[in-house]
Homo-oligomer: A and B are copies of this chain.
Amino acid sequence: MRTVDPIKHEQKRQEILAAAIRCALRSGLKGTSTSDICAEAKISPGHLYHYFENKDAIFAGLAETKLNELTERLRRNIEAGGATLEAISAAVRAASEASWHRDEYALVFEMLAEAVRSPAMASLLRKTGDAMRAVLANAFREGQKNGEFDKTLDPALASAAVLGMIDAAKAFALRYPETSRAERAAFLDLLMARLLAPGSCPAAKAAPRHVAVAKRKVRAS
């Protein structure tokens, strides 16, 4: 009987995902075939299916690897900087900047597009998005206690908004490729500051039903 060493199995799985990421950054998600991944990972198609059920599972695994990296980076940055507007803006910026390459943006948008067709990708984006929102929402709650952030803003909703602003900064970079990193950082900082800063912005209280949904999501993560 063939026995499986779980550590070696996981190691090989990670190698395949790293190969899949290299392929996807080179040719896009849709431009990457299973045989491209096999060639890059130096593995036979029959062997590949010991590790992943199908291509959708590889793509979801690839997205999970990338997005977990981002969440971890964000968590470390926020732990190091504390819950001030400046520190959290810097943490979000640093977490985003690490993937500020045009091929990486394209990959994120392809993942979002793929979520419409692939349930595996949809559930993965949900899971990693919720994990990132939980990190942010915790920091917002702390920042609200010390008066750094607008107290009328629901942390769960604000965390969804910040996730959206990271997406917005990526789209901005794709529309205006000649802008520098500093300019993209300023764009993201402005969005963060307008969203989070205490002030008299009248609509800080969101529609209650919507907020409830956003809250439930964070709790479920």
Please report A residues at the B interface, Cβ cutoff 8 Å: 28, 30-31, 102-103, 105-107, 109-110, 112-117, 122, 125-126, 129, 157, 160-161, 163-165, 167-169, 171-172, 174-177, 179, 182-183, 186-187, 189-191, 193-195, 197-204, 206-207, 209-210, 213, 217
Contacts and interface: CB of A to CB of B under 8 A. Distances in A.
A76 B114 CA distance: 33
Nearest to A128: B175
Chief secondary structure at chain A's binding surface: helix
B177 A206 contact: no
A191 B162 CA distance: 10
A113 B28 contact: yes
B102 A106 contact: no
Contact of A28 (B30, B106, B198): B30
Contacts of A115: 106, 174-175
B213 A174 contact: no
Contacts of A203: 189-190, 193-194, 197
Nearest to A126: B175
A113 B122 contact: no
A206 B192 CA distance: 12
A204 B15 CA distance: 46
Contacts of A187: 157, 160-161, 164, 206, 210
